[in-house]
A and B are shown apart, each in its own frame.
Chain A
Amino acid sequence: MTRSRKSWVMGSVAAALALAGGLAFGQTTITGAGATFPYPVYAKWADAYAAKTGVHLNYQSIGSGGGIAQTKAKTVDFGASDAPLTQQQLDEIGLIQWPMIMGGVVPVLNVPGVKPGEVSLTPTLLADIYLGKVANWNAPEIAAANPGVKLPDLAITVVHRADGSGTTWIFTNYLDKVSPEWHTKVGTSTAVSWPTGVGGKGNEGVSAYVLRIKGAIGYVEYAYCLQNHMTYALLRNAAGNYVSPTAKAFQAAAANADWKDAPGYYLVLTDQPGAESWPITGASFILFYKDQPNAAKAKAVLSFFAWCYANGQKMAEDLDYVPMPKNVADMMEANWTAKVRSAGQAVWK
C-alpha cells in the first residue's frame, strides 16, 4: 500500500471508531405519532424534558387515525389518539391506553364584524350547519339563537378534517349525541362521510382554511384557536347554559370523569352534565404495547410520561389544556406496573 493510501485507511478507521464511541454515549430519542389535538402541549413537555434529561421526543402530528395505523405497524414507540380504543380493540392488538391530557374542541368562525364569543350556537344548530341544512349566516335559525347580533348575508362554508382525526371523533361523538339526524345519516368516527364542506389537513389545516375563507366555520382544539387568535362561538351545554370555551369550562366537564370504572380507560367526555361544563371536551390517549421488545426503551418512554404527569401541569394549563389529576396519574402508573412486560419481566416498578 502506498503511504498516502495507508494514512487514508487509518484515518477512516479512526473516524469510524470515534463515531461508534460517540453514538454509544449519544442522545436517546423516543418516537411517537398521532393526534394533532395534544401536539402543542406534547411539544412543550418534550422541550422541557429534553432540557432536563437529554432524552428527545420525536412526535409526528399526523392525526389519530395515523397514530393508530403506525402503532399497529410498530413503526413508533407509542401512538397518540383522541379516539379511545375499546377494550376489545385493545386486546386484539395487545395494547394498553391511558389518558394523558384533556382539552376542548371549539367551533371557530370567520364572519366579518363578529368578535370572539359574540355568536351563540345551540347543539342542534351546530349539527344542522354541519349537515348542510343551514347554509347562510343570516338564516332565521341562527338569528333566533343570537338576538341583537348583526349577521351578514354570507354563505356558510363548513370546514372539517380531511384526514383521519381524533378531534373529528370527539366532535362527531358530540353531534351524534345531540342530533338524531346526525346519528342516522353520518355517525361517529375518525373519518366520516361529511354531508358538506371542505377538508383541511390536521387542526393546522382547518385553522388555515377558516382564517382564509369568509363565512367559514370549523372545529379545532382550543390551543389552535388561542394561538391563531380565532373567533370562537359559545355553545349551549346539557344544563342549558351558554358557555365560553375556557380552561374552567373544560375542567368542569372533566370533573365528571370516572376513570376507575371505565374498561380499558375508554371514557368519552362530550355533553357532560354540570352548569359550567363545555360540551365538547375530550381526553387524548397514549397507546402502548403490553409486550415490549426493548425494556430500556420502554422504560424511557414511561419515564417521560411519568415526568409529564408529575411536572407538566403548569405548562398544560398555560395552553388551556386540563392536566390529569394526581389520583388518575397514580392509577395509570399502577396499570403500567401491572400490564407492561418485556421478556416476562415488569418494566415499570
Chain B
Amino acid sequence: MVRRAHGRAPLVAEGLFRAAAFACAGFVLVVMAGLFVVLLYRSRLSIDRFGWGFLWSAAWDPVRDNFGAASSIFGTVASTVIAMVIAVPLSLVIALFLVEVAPPRLARPVSYGIELLAGIPSIIYGMWGLFVLAPLMATNVQPAMQRVFGKLPLFAGPPMGIGILTAGLVLALMVLPFITAVVRDVFALVPPVMKEAGYGLGATTWEVTRKVTVGYGMKGIVGGVFLGLGRAIGETMAVTFVIGNDHRIAASLFASGNSIASTLANEFTEASEPVYLSALVELGLILFVVTLVIQVLAQLWLTRLARQAGSTS
C-alpha cells in the first residue's frame, strides 16, 4: 500500500498519466485501423468491378474505365529493387569506413554530410534528377551501357535519360543516407572489448570487421535496410519527376514506367469518374498493405535474429 506522503495529488497525477499514455497509444492504433477501413471502403467499386484481376491487369484506360495495378506495381518494385541493390552495399561500406577506417577528423564532416543528405526534401532530389541526372544519363551513361551490353533486352530502347533506371538511381541516393546513419550508429555501439579480443587473437581489421562488427550489428543492419526500403517504396515526388509516367511494363531498364505513388500523385486530383477514383484508392490500398507486410516481415526477421544471437552468446 502506497503511503500518501503528500496527499492524493500524486496518485491522481499517476492515474491521469497512465490514462493519457494509453489514449495516445490507442489513438495510433485507431488511426491505422481507420486508414485501412477508409481505403477498403472507397475502393469497393473497383474491387467489385475488377476483383483479383486488378492485381495483374496491365490496362489503364480512363476512357473505357478499365484499370489494372500491374504496371504501377511493376514500376514500384523495379525502381525499389534497383535502389536497394545500389544503396545497401554502398551504405554498409560507408558506415564501416566511418567507424573503422576513417580518422576522426575525416569521419565527422562526412557524417554531417550524410545527415544533411538525409534532410534534403525529396522534391529537390526529383528536380536534380530531371535537370542534372537525366541529361547525364541520356548523353553519357546510357549510350555507353548500350555500347557494352547493347544486345540484351535489359538495355534496349532509346536512351531518353528518364525511366526506371534513373528513378532507381535517384531513390538509391535518397535511401543511402538513412541506411548509412542507422548502420553507422549500430557499428559504433559494438563493444570495443569484443573487437579488442579479436585483434588480440591476431585477426586483421577486415576479419574483425567481418566477423565481429557486422555479426554483432546484423540486427541493426536489417533494421536500417527495412527503413530504407519503406522510404523507397512510398517515395512520390522524386520518382514522379524522372520515371516517365507511362502505364506499361517493359523489360528494359531504359524504359519509362510508373510507380503506385507517382500514379496517385499525377492522377488523383483529376479523377472525377467514380470507377477511376476507386481504382486509384485501390492502388493506395495495395501500397498500404505492401508496406504493412514489409514491416511485419522485418519484425519477424529481427525477432529471429535476436533469438539466434541469444542462443549463441
Which residues of A come within 8 Å of B, CB atoms?
62-66, 68-70, 72, 154-155, 157, 162-164, 186-194, 196-201, 208-209, 212-216
Task: Please tell me if the beta carbons of A69 and B270 are within 8 angstroms of each other in the complex.
Answer: yes
Task: Please tell me if the beta carbons of A193 and B266 are within 8 angstroms of each other in the complex.
Answer: no
Measured in the bound complex, the distance between the Cα atoms of B279 and A193 in whole Å is 15
**Which single residue of chain B is at the shortest CB-CB distance from A200?**
B245
Give chain B residues whose Cβ lies under 8 Å from the Cβ of A216: 160
Task: Please tell me if the beta carbons of A215 and B270 are within 8 angstroms of each other in the complex.
Answer: no
With both chains docked as a complex, state the minimum distance between the C-beta of A208 and any C-beta of chain B, in angstroms.
7
Partner of B158, one of A157, A164, A199, A200: A157
List residues of B (62-101) whose CB comes within 8 Å of A's CBs.
Answer: 62-64, 66
Task: Please tell me if the beta carbons of A193 and B247 are within 8 angstroms of each other in the complex.
Answer: yes
Q: Name the residue among A63, A190, A193 with the largest chain B CB count within 10 angstroms.
A: A193
Given the contacts A68-B272, A213-B160, A215-B158, A198 and B246 also touching, CB distance less than 8 Å: yes
Give chain B residues whose Cβ lies under 8 Å from the Cβ of A187: 63-64
Given the contacts A187-B63, A193-B62, A198-B162, A208 and B270 also touching, CB distance less than 8 Å: no
Chain A interface: which of B9-17, B104-112, B130-138, B172-180?
B130-138
Give chain A residues whose Cβ lies under 8 Å from the Cβ of B269: 62-63, 65-66, 69-70, 163-164
A-B contact pairs, 5 of them (CB 8 A): A163-B270, A164-B269, A192-B62, A193-B247, A213-B162
With both chains docked as a complex, state the minimum distance between the C-beta of A130 and any C-beta of chain B, in angstroms.
13
Task: Please tell me if the beta carbons of B62 and A163 are within 8 angstroms of each other in the complex.
Answer: no
With both chains docked as a complex, state the minimum distance between the C-beta of A107 and any C-beta of chain B, in angstroms.
18
Give chain A residues whose Cβ lies under 8 Å from the Cβ of B213: none
Measured in the bound complex, the distance between the Cα atoms of B161 and A122 in whole Å is 29
Give chain B residues whose Cβ lies under 8 Å from the Cβ of A209: 162
With both chains docked as a complex, state the minimum distance between the C-beta of A4 and any C-beta of chain B, in angstroms.
29
List residues of B (228-255) whose CB comes within 8 Å of A's CBs.
Answer: 240, 244-247
Interface membership of B61, Cβ < 8 A? yes
B260-296 toward A: CB 8 Å interface, digit per residue (1/0)? 0000001101111000000000000000000000000
Task: Please tell me if the beta carbons of A66 and B270 are within 8 angstroms of each other in the complex.
Answer: yes
Which residues of B come within 8 Å of A, CB atoms?
59-64, 66, 130, 134-135, 138, 157-158, 160-162, 240, 244-247, 256, 266-267, 269-272
Task: Please tell me if the beta carbons of B63 and A193 are within 8 angstroms of each other in the complex.
Answer: yes
Can you list the 6 inter-chain pairs with the closest CB atoms, starting with the nearest? Answer: A65-B270, A164-B270, A199-B245, A155-B158, A162-B245, A193-B61
Task: Please tell me if the beta carbons of A213 and B271 are within 8 angstroms of each other in the complex.
Answer: no
Measured in the bound complex, the distance between the Cα atoms of B160 and A153 in whole Å is 15
Give chain B residues whose Cβ lies under 8 Å from the Cβ of A192: 61-63
**Which single residue of chain A is at the shortest CB-CB distance from B277?**
A69
Measured in the bound complex, the distance between the Cα atoms of B269 and A222 in whole Å is 25
Measured in the bound complex, the distance between the Cα atoms of B272 and A190 in whole Å is 11
Give chain A residues whose Cβ lies under 8 Å from the Cβ of B130: 208, 212
With both chains docked as a complex, state the minimum distance between the C-beta of B164 and any C-beta of chain A, in angstroms.
12
With both chains docked as a complex, state the minimum distance between the C-beta of B69 and any C-beta of chain A, in angstroms.
15
Measured in the bound complex, the distance between the Cα atoms of B266 and A62 in whole Å is 10
Give chain A residues whose Cβ lies under 8 Å from the Cβ of B162: 198, 209, 213
Task: Please tell me if the beta carbons of B270 and A193 are within 8 angstroms of each other in the complex.
Answer: no
**Which single residue of chain B is at the shortest CB-CB distance from A197?**
B246
Task: Please tell me if the beta carbons of B135 and A191 are within 8 angstroms of each other in the complex.
Answer: no
**Which single residue of chain A is at the shortest CB-CB distance from B67?**
A193
Measured in the bound complex, the distance between the Cα atoms of B244 and A334 in whole Å is 46
Measured in the bound complex, the distance between the Cα atoms of B240 and A164 in whole Å is 15
Task: Please tell me if the beta carbons of B256 and A198 are within 8 angstroms of each other in the complex.
Answer: yes
Give chain B residues whose Cβ lies under 8 Å from the Cβ of A196: 246
Give chain A residues whose Cβ lies under 8 Å from the Cβ of B245: 162, 198-201
Measured in the bound complex, the distance between the Cα atoms of B62 and A157 in whole Å is 22
**Which single residue of chain B is at the shortest CB-CB distance from A208?**
B130
Task: Please tell me if the beta carbons of A191 and B267 are within 8 angstroms of each other in the complex.
Answer: yes
Known contacts A187-B63, A188-B63, then 16 further A-B pairs from the complex at CB < 8 Å, ordered by chain A residue = A62-B270, A64-B270, A65-B270, A68-B270, A69-B269, A157-B160, A162-B245, A162-B266, A162-B267, A163-B269, A189-B62, A190-B62, A190-B270, A198-B256, A212-B161, A213-B138
Give chain A residues whose Cβ lies under 8 Å from the Cβ of B158: 154-155, 157, 215
Measured in the bound complex, the distance between the Cα atoms of B281 and A232 in whole Å is 39
Give chain A residues whose Cβ lies under 8 Å from the Cβ of B138: 212-214
**Which single residue of chain B is at the shortest CB-CB distance from A154?**
B158
Given the contacts A68-B272, A198-B244, A164 and B161 also touching, CB distance less than 8 Å: no
Give chain A residues whose Cβ lies under 8 Å from the Cβ of B267: 162-164, 191
Task: Please tell me if the beta carbons of B244 and A199 are within 8 angstroms of each other in the complex.
Answer: yes
Measured in the bound complex, the distance between the Cα atoms of B269 and A201 in whole Å is 12
Measured in the bound complex, the distance between the Cα atoms of B157 and A155 in whole Å is 9
Give chain A residues whose Cβ lies under 8 Å from the Cβ of B271: 65, 69, 164
Q: Name the residue among B64, B130, B160, B162 with the largest chain A CB count within 10 angstroms.
A: B160
Measured in the bound complex, the distance between the Cα atoms of B162 and A57 in whole Å is 36
Give chain A residues whose Cβ lies under 8 Å from the Cβ of B63: 186-189, 191-193
**Which single residue of chain B is at the shortest CB-CB distance from A205?**
B245
Measured in the bound complex, the distance between the Cα atoms of B158 and A68 in whole Å is 36
Task: Please tell me if the beta carbons of A199 and B272 are within 8 angstroms of each other in the complex.
Answer: no
Give chain B residues whose Cβ lies under 8 Å from the Cβ of A154: 158
**Which single residue of chain A is at the shortest CB-CB distance from B162?**
A198
Give chain A residues whose Cβ lies under 8 Å from the Cβ of B247: 193-194
Give chain B residues whose Cβ lies under 8 Å from the Cβ of A190: 62, 270
Measured in the bound complex, the distance between the Cα atoms of B270 and A212 in whole Å is 26
Task: Please tell me if the beta carbons of A69 and B64 are within 8 angstroms of each other in the complex.
Answer: no
Give chain A residues whose Cβ lies under 8 Å from the Cβ of B256: 197-198
Task: Please tell me if the beta carbons of A193 and B60 are within 8 angstroms of each other in the complex.
Answer: yes
With both chains docked as a complex, state the minimum distance between the C-beta of B119 and any C-beta of chain A, in angstroms.
25
**Which single residue of chain A is at the shortest CB-CB distance from B262?**
A162
Partner of A212, one of B60, B61, B135: B135
With both chains docked as a complex, state the minimum distance between the C-beta of A62 and any C-beta of chain B, in angstroms.
6
With both chains docked as a complex, state the minimum distance between the C-beta of A187 and any C-beta of chain B, in angstroms.
4
